[in-house]
Chain A
Amino acid sequence: MPQDLSATPETPKEDDRPKWDNKFQYILSCIGFAVGLGNVWRFPYLCQIHGGGAFLIPYFIALVFEGIPLLHLELALGQCLRKGSIGAWNTISPYLGGVGSWMVSILVSLFYNTVLTWVMWYLINSFQEPLPWSVCPLNENRTGFNEECYESTAVNYFWYRKTLNITPDIAESGTFQWWLILCLAACWAIVYLCTIRGIESTGKAIYVTAIFPYLVLTIFLIQGLTLPGATEGLIYLFTPNLNTLKNPRVWLDAATQIFFSLSLAFGGLIAFASYNPAKNDCEKDAVTVAIVNSMTSLYASIPVFSVLGFKATTAYWDCLDRNIINIINEFDLPEESIMRQNYTSWISFLNSSYPEKIAGLKLKSCDLQEFLDQSVSGTGLAFIVFTQAIILMPGSQAWAILFFIMLFSLGLSSMFGNIEGVFTPLLELQILPKSAPKELLSGIICLISFLIALCFTLGSGSYWIDIFDRYAASVPLLVIAFFEVIGVVYIYKIKRFSEDVEWMTGRKLSLFWQITWRFISPLLLLIVFMAFVTLQMQKPPSYTAWNPNYEGFPMKEEKVYPPWVQAICVLLAALPCVCVPLVALFHLAKQKRRSKEPSLVPPEVSSCQEANSNFSHPKE
C-alpha cells in the first residue's frame, strides 16, 4: 500500500562529485600540472642548442597547431563526460580501453617523485655552512683530498657519490641508500598530505605550489641580471641563428617539447576538467593554460641563462687567473703586473721572447665561448651546473634553499596532476567499497608507489630513472594522444563533439578547431611519432655511466644496455600502447559471444548533454 516514498522527485539526483572551489583553482591546477621541471631545465637547453631566438619559431608553430588543439580536446572531453580518463575513454567507445594513460600516469608518478626526492635531499643539505658540495672531503690519512673528488669536482662528487652512490654499471644494483629512502618517504608523505582528499586538498595546496615558483623565478631574475657575465649568457641564449631551422631535428624537438611540456595524454587534465561545472568555457581555459606554460618557459630561461653566463664567465676568469699566476711565478714578475685585460698582449710578448719557457708551462687556452658552449639539460643542469654557480654567489645558502624549494614546488604541482590521473579513475571504478573514505584510497596509492619506488634508491637507481624517462614517458604518450584524437573525431564523431563543445562554451566551434582536430593534429602526431621512433632506433640504446676506474675519468663512460634491460625498455614503451588494441579485441570477443550477429558498430554513446541532463544547475 505505501507508495515508494523514497522516489520523491522534487530534487533531481544530487551529484556528489567533488567540485573546484572556484575557477581560479582549476586553472591554477592545470597550469601547475603543465609547468614542471621541464620548463626550467629542458626548454632553455633546447633554446640554446637550436639557435637561440630562432627556436621560438618552430616552438610557437607547434604550440598553435599541436599544443593548444590537443589541450582543448582533453579539457573539453573531461568536462563533457565528467569522468576520469578510463571512464571517459570507455564512454567514447569501449574498444578504446583507457587503461593506457592510467598506466603511464602510474609509471611517471613513480620516477617523478624520486627526482623530487633528490631535490629534497639537496634542499635539506642546503642548511649547512659551507655547502657540502663546495668542498672536497679529505682522504683517510688526511694528506690530501679524496681522490674521486679531486679528479672530478666537488659538485660532481657530491651528486654521484654522496647523493646517488652510483654504481659503475646498470647491471650492478648496489645497496639501498638509506638517506634516499628517508627522503623518498618524506616526499610520498607530502604527496599524500596534499592529495589526501583528491581535489579538495590539492585545490588548497596548489595556491602555494603553483604561485611560489614564479616568485622565486622573479627573485632569481633580479639577482641573475646583477651578476657579472649575465649579459654574455643572455646574448648567447637569445642570438637567433636562423640556419638551424633547416635541420629537421629542431622542428622535431620543438614538437616533442610542446607535447611533453603540456602534460597531454596523462589523463590528469581529463580528471581535472571532469570536476568542472558542465557549462564552462573550456576553449578559453585551454588557450590560457597553453600560453601561460610557454611564457613560463621563456621567463624561466632568463634567470637560468643569466646564472649560466655568470658561471661561464667565472670559469673563464679562473682559467685566466691560473695562467697568470703560472706565468708570474715562472718569470718572477711582480704581482698584478699581468691583469686579465693585458693578458693577451703579455702572452704574445712572452711567446716571442721566451717560447720554450711558455711551452713548458703548458698553459690552458681560455675561451669564453667554450665555457658557454658547455650546455647541460635535465638533472645535470640543476644538481651540477647550477649548484656550482650557487657556490660562487654571495649568500649561497639562501640561494640554494630558494632554488631547491622552487624546484620542489614545480615538481609537486606536476605530481598532483599525475596522482589525480591515477586516483580519479580508481575512484570511479569503485575498487574500494563506497563506505570506505577517500583518504584510504589515496593512502593505498601512495604507500604502494612508495614501496615500488624503493628500487630507484638503489645504487643503479638513476640509470633506471633515465630509462623510465626515455621510454615510459615518451612514445606511449604520443600513441595515446593519437588514439585520443582519432577516437574523439572519428568514433565519437566530430559533429557530435562540436555540438557538445558549443553547448558547454555557448558559442559555435570555430573552423580552426575543426581543421586542427580533424587533420592537422593527428597528422602532426603521426609525423612526430615516426620521426621520434626512427631517431631512437638509429643509435643503439646506450647510457653514460659514472665509473671512477675508467681511464677517461672524469668523463663518463659510454655503455650499451644489456639485453634484459633492453627488453624492459621495450616493455615500458609498449605496454601502455598495447592496451588499446588488447582492450578492443577483448570487447570484440565479448560482443561476438553475446550477440548472435557480431557488429562492429560501437554501442550507443551518450553524448555530453545527455550525461548532464539529470544534473540540475543552480544557475542555468
Chain B
Amino acid sequence: MLRALLLILSVVAIAHAELCKPDAQNAFKVRISIKTALGDNAYAWDANEEYLFKAMVAFAMRRYSSKSTTQISNVLLCNVTDRVSFWFVVTDSSKNVTTVPGSEVEAAIRMNRNRINNAFLLSDKTLQFLKITSTLSPPVEPSTPVWLIVFGVVLCLILAGIVFLIVSGIQKHKKKNKESTERENLEEKVEVTLENGIPCEALDLKAGHINGVFAADDDRFTSL
C-alpha cells in the first residue's frame, strides 16, 4: 500500500518535473522585482507568496473559462531563483498529464492582470510575465487642448492692452489738439489787442529804443 502510494507520488513528481521546466511547452517565465517596486517595504519571497501566486493564477483561469475546475494544485511552479524569477505551468485537471494551452493561460492572465498585480502590490513592470505583453493605457487627452486655453487668455490680455493704449493715445491727441486750438485763440485775442497801435513787442525788439510816436502821444493825455 505504502509502496503503491510512493510509486504514484514519484510518478506524479516526475510528471510534474516533465511538465514544468524552463522553455517547456505552455510554460511561462515570471520575473518579480519586489525591492524595485517597494524599496524599504519589500517583503521576502517565500513559500507563502508562492502559494498566493498559485491561487491568483487558478483564480484567473476560473474567471476566464468560468468553469470551477482549476485547483491550486493544478498550477506548478519550478526553477525559483534568487532574482526572483520562476517558471509556471497550468495543468488540466480533466486530462491528467497535460497542460492547458498557452494561449488560454495568456488570455486569462491578461484579463485579470490588474487583480494579480494588486495582490502583490506590484505593477506591470515589476511583475513581468515574459511572453505576455500588457496593453498600454492611452494617454489622458482633455477635450480642449490645454495650450489653446492658455493661449486664449494670453491673447485676450494682449489685445486689451493694445486697445487701451490706442484709445488713450487718441484721447491724448484730442486733448492736445483742443489745447493747441485754445492757445491759438488766446494768441489771436492778444494779437487783436495789439493791432490797435504800434505793437509793444516791436518796441521791445529795439531794446529800449524810445519811439518818437509814443513820446509824442504822451503829451496828448492830460495828467490826472
Please list the residues of chain A having a beta carbon within 8 angstroms of any beta carbon in chain B.
2-3, 5, 8, 121, 124-125, 127-128, 135, 137-138, 142-145, 179, 182-183, 185-186, 189-190, 192-193, 196-197, 201, 328-329, 332-336, 437, 439
Please measure, in the bound complex, the distance between the C-alpha atom of A182 and the C-alpha atom of B149, giving whole angstroms.
13
Please measure, in the bound complex, the distance between the C-alpha atom of A183 and the C-alpha atom of B136, giving whole angstroms.
33
Can you list 5 A-B pairs, Cβ within 8 angstroms, ordered by A? Answer: A5-B191, A5-B201, A125-B147, A183-B151, A437-B170
- Distance to closest chain B CB from A157 (angstroms): 13
Given contacts A197-B169, A439-B169, 7 further A-B contacts (CB under 8 A): A3-B199, A196-B162, A196-B166, A328-B83, A332-B85, A334-B84, A335-B35
Q: Are A335 and B83 neighbours in the complex by a CB distance under 8 Å?
A: yes
Please measure, in the bound complex, the distance between the C-alpha atom of A439 and the C-alpha atom of B169, giving whole angstroms.
8
Say whether B13 faces chain A, with CB atoms less than 8 Å apart.
no
Please measure, in the bound complex, the distance between the C-alpha atom of A190 and the C-alpha atom of B158, giving whole angstroms.
6
Q: Are A189 and B159 neighbours in the complex by a CB distance under 8 Å?
A: yes
User: Which residue of A138, A182, A329 contacts B136 across the interface (Cβ within 8 Å)?
Assistant: A138
Please measure, in the bound complex, the distance between the C-alpha atom of A124 and the C-alpha atom of B153, giving whole angstroms.
10
**Residues of the B chain whose Cβ atoms lie less than 8 Å from the Cβ of A5:** 191, 199, 201
Please measure, in the bound complex, the distance between the C-alpha atom of A152 and the C-alpha atom of B119, giving whole angstroms.
36
**Cβ contacts B1-15/A at 8 Å (1 or 0 each):** 000000000000000
Please list the residues of chain B having a beta carbon within 8 angstroms of any beta carbon in chain A.
31, 33-36, 81-85, 135-136, 138-139, 146-147, 150-151, 154-155, 158-159, 161-162, 165-166, 169-170, 173, 191, 195, 199, 201-202
Q: Are B166 and A124 neighbours in the complex by a CB distance under 8 Å?
A: no
| Contact status of A138 and B138, CB under 8 A, knowing A128-B147, A335-B35 | yes
Q: Are B158 and A196 neighbours in the complex by a CB distance under 8 Å?
A: no
- Distance to closest chain A CB from B107 (angstroms): 16
**Residues of the B chain whose Cβ atoms lie less than 8 Å from the Cβ of A439:** 165-166, 169
Q: Are B202 and A189 neighbours in the complex by a CB distance under 8 Å?
A: no
Across the two chains, which residue of chain B brings its CB closest to A139? B136
| Contact status of A3 and B201, CB under 8 A, knowing A127-B146, A437-B173 | yes
Q: Are A128 and B146 neighbours in the complex by a CB distance under 8 Å?
A: yes
Q: Are B162 and A193 neighbours in the complex by a CB distance under 8 Å?
A: yes
- Distance to closest chain A CB from B38 (angstroms): 11
Please measure, in the bound complex, the distance between the C-alpha atom of A142 and the C-alpha atom of B31, giving whole angstroms.
25
- Distance to closest chain B CB from A18 (angstroms): 13
- Distance to closest chain A CB from B152 (angstroms): 10
Across the two chains, which residue of chain A brings its CB closest to B86? A332
Q: Are B155 and A189 neighbours in the complex by a CB distance under 8 Å?
A: yes
- Distance to closest chain A CB from B178 (angstroms): 15
- Distance to closest chain A CB from B39 (angstroms): 10
| Contact status of A186 and B82, CB under 8 A, knowing A5-B201, A8-B201, A137-B139 | no
Q: Are B151 and A124 neighbours in the complex by a CB distance under 8 Å?
A: yes
Please measure, in the bound complex, the distance between the C-alpha atom of A261 and the C-alpha atom of B135, giving whole angstroms.
52
Q: Are B201 and A192 neighbours in the complex by a CB distance under 8 Å?
A: no
Across the two chains, which residue of chain A brings its CB closest to B139? A135
Please measure, in the bound complex, the distance between the C-alpha atom of A144 and the C-alpha atom of B195, giving whole angstroms.
95
- Distance to closest chain A CB from B81 (angstroms): 4
- Distance to closest chain A CB from B164 (angstroms): 9
**Residues of the A chain whose Cβ atoms lie less than 8 Å from the Cβ of B35:** 335-336
8 tightest CB-CB pairs across the interface, nearest first? A332-B81, A334-B82, A332-B83, A124-B150, A335-B35, A124-B147, A189-B158, A128-B146
Which of B31, B162, B170, B195 lies at the interface centre, i.e. has the most chain A CB atoms within 10 A of its CB? B162
| Contact status of A197 and B165, CB under 8 A, knowing A2-B195, A332-B83, A333-B83 | yes
Across the two chains, which residue of chain A brings its CB closest to B31? A329
Q: Are B82 and A437 neighbours in the complex by a CB distance under 8 Å?
A: no
**Residues of the B chain whose Cβ atoms lie less than 8 Å from the Cβ of A2:** 191, 195, 199
**Residues of the A chain whose Cβ atoms lie less than 8 Å from the Cβ of B155:** 185-186, 189
| Contact status of A124 and B165, CB under 8 A, knowing A138-B138, A334-B83, A335-B35 | no
Q: Are B191 and A142 neighbours in the complex by a CB distance under 8 Å?
A: no
Please measure, in the bound complex, the distance between the C-alpha atom of A495 and the C-alpha atom of B2, giving whole angstroms.
124
**Residues of the B chain whose Cβ atoms lie less than 8 Å from the Cβ of A3:** 199, 201-202
- Distance to closest chain B CB from A52 (angstroms): 38
**Residues of the B chain whose Cβ atoms lie less than 8 Å from the Cβ of A201:** 165
**Residues of the B chain whose Cβ atoms lie less than 8 Å from the Cβ of A142:** 135-136, 138
**Residues of the B chain whose Cβ atoms lie less than 8 Å from the Cβ of A190:** 158
Please measure, in the bound complex, the distance between the C-alpha atom of A189 and the C-alpha atom of B161, giving whole angstroms.
10
**Residues of the A chain whose Cβ atoms lie less than 8 Å from the Cβ of B33:** 335
